[in-house]
């Protein structure tokens, strides 16, 4: 009997558990566009409470929550500041420009982390020739930074600087709960420094679909209008929200298991000649490593590992990413390390 594939391409590949499927099947439903879907309403209220915000809005994806978050803070011709490797800038098709006429100013961080002093002097002057700087966006944890957790003191200082200069702040917290579990710092504590926060349920929490944008009531009401404009108004959305609600209520603390499994993988890679962790320290559930050219390209190694039963994602010519999640056990992770070593 062939062993099942160990799929480490992303934490979005998870399948709903039987209890989550049961929660979805039993969800109380309504029309969320013309009235209220009670399950979606419960999810929004619970997420807002968890993040210490007045209101929240359920959407199909984190890209939509991020883009609408940026849009409600900025007007066409405005600019937001972000780290150059962030998801908003790299993996959302420049939607801020395509859909909202907004410009991004990128600053190179270290492993996705910006130092507060890097933002000094980045605000445009009051000049008719220039775009207007309006917003600072941070990502926590940082995807391309291998799940790097933003240092809390940096977040606090950067947001304090932004507010002192009349800028707003938005957090792409797609994997914020990974940072919560790894640091012990509550979601509300992280979120308090941002006007708006986006969190995702289809990654570490194991839901099939969905993200939420949370913030002040007026901003979330405005976000609802833009969600409709972008085609994100959903009817009996409780079918989706039920899975997200189950994940929120049951799967946060268990993220520690994913972090432990990522350490198993990281330690295994350290002991395989020709592979090099980048960065060396793994904070949460994402492991990125470089492949020595003598072994071959990342794409070649990815294909050979896939054939052997481990699926990862080539990010570049010599770079591979692996992400741990609730559908991969400790035993499977140990087996994955063995397979990688055999293939290399």
Q: Which of 170, 159, 142, 210 is nearest to 69 (CA)?
A: 170
Count the helices and strands in the chain (H runs, E runs). Answer: 13, 13
Whether residue 26 is contained in a domain is answered as no
Last residue of a domain, one of 235, 250, 265: 250
Do residue 184 and residue 116 come from a single domain?
yes
Using the 3D structure, point to which of 216, 235, 250 is the last residue of a domain. Answer: 250
174-199 average pLDDT score: 98
Q: Write down the H helix ranges in 128-184.
A: 152-164, 176-183
> What is the tally of structural domains in the chain?
2
In a domain, 21, yes or no: no
Beta carbons of 138 and 169 less than 8 angstroms apart: yes
Q: How far from the centroid of its chain's Cα atoms is residue 217's Cα?
A: 23
Q: Is residue 1 part of a domain?
A: no
Indicate if 324 and 238 belong to the same structural domain. no
Mean pLDDT of 279-288: 96
- Domain boundary, last residue among 217, 250, 283: 250
Residue 152 falls inside a structural domain: yes
Average pLDDT over residues 316-328: 97
* Token pair belonging to 128: 């008719």
* CA-based torsion, 306, 312, 313, 319: positive or negative: negative
Whether the per-residue pLDDT at 240 is higher than 60: the answer is yes
Q: Are residues 202 and 272 in the same domain?
A: no
Does 307 share its domain with 233? Answer: no
Residues 164 and 51 in one domain: yes
Residue 265 lies in a domain: yes
Domain CATH code at residue 268: 3.90.1150.10
Q: Could you tell me if 147 and 294 lie in one domain?
A: no
148 and 47 both lie in a single domain: yes
For position 68, what pLDDT does the model report?
A: 98
Q: What percent of the chain has pLDDT over 90?
A: 97
- When pLDDT is cut at 50, 70 and 90, the band that residue 4 belongs to is confident
Q: What is the pLDDT, as a whole number, of residue 1?
A: 54
pLDDT, the chain, mean:
96
Question: Strands 168-173 and 196-200, how do they pair?
Answer: parallel
Boundaries of domain holding 56: 31-250
Same domain, 206 and 319: no
Q: Are residues 86 and 197 in the same domain?
A: yes
Question: In this structure, are 236 and 264 located in the same domain?
Answer: no
At residue 221 the predicted structure's pLDDT band, cuts being 50, 70 and 90, is: very high
pLDDT in tens, 85-124: 999 999 999 999 999 999 999 999 999 999 999 999 999 9
Residue 136 shares a structural domain with residue 110: yes
Specify whether 77 is located in the same domain as 184: yes
Specify if 20 maps to a domain: no
Average of per-residue pLDDT across 274-301: 96
Beta strands in 216-283 (DSSP E): 275-277
Which residues are CB-neighbours of 65 under 8 A, at least 6 positions away? 57, 59, 198, 199, 200, 211, 212, 213
| pTM exceeds 0.85 for this model | yes
């Amino acid at each position: 009997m062939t062993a099942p594939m160990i799929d480490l391409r992303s934490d979005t590949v998870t399948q709903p558990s039987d209890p989550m499927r049961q929660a979805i099947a039993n969800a109380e439903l309504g029309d969320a566009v013309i009235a209220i879907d009670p399950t979606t309403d419960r999810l929004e209220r619970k997420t807002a409470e968890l993040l210490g915000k007045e209101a929240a809005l359920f959407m199909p994806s984190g890209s939509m929550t991020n883009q609408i978050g940026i849009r409600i803070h900025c007007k066409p011709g405005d600019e937001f500041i972000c780290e150059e490797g962030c998801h908003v800038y790299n993996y959302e098709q420049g939607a801020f420009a395509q859909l909202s006429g907004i410009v991004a100013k990128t600053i190179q961080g270290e492993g996705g982390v910006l130092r507060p002093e890097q933002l000094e002097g980045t605000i445009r002057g009051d000049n008719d020739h220039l775009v207007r700087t309006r917003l600072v966006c941070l990502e926590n944890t940082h995807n391309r930074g291998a799940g790097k957790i933003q240092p809390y003191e940096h977040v606090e200082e950067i947001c304090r600087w932004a507010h002192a200069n009349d800028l707003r702040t938005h957090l792409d917290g797609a994997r914020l709960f990974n940072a919560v579990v790894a640091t012990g710092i509550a979601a509300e504590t992280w979120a308090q420094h941002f006007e708006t926060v986006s969190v995702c349920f289809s990654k570490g929490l194991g839901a099939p679909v969905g993200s939420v944008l949370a913030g002040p009531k007026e901003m979330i009401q405005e976000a609802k209008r833009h969600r409709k404009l972008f085609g994100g108004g959903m009817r009996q959305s409780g079918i989706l929200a039920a899975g997200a609600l189950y994940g929120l209520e049951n799967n946060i603390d268990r993220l520690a298991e994913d972090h432990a499994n990522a350490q198993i993988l990281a330690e295994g890679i350290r002991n395989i000649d020709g592979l090099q962790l980048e960065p060396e320290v793994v904070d949460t559930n994402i492991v990125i490593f470089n492949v020595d050219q003598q072994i071959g390209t990342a794409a070649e190694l990815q294909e050979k590992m896939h054939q052997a039963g481990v699926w990862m994602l080539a990010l570049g010519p010599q770079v591979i990413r692996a992400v741990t999640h609730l559908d991969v056990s400790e035993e499977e992770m140990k087996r994955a390390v063995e397979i990688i070593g055999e293939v290399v």
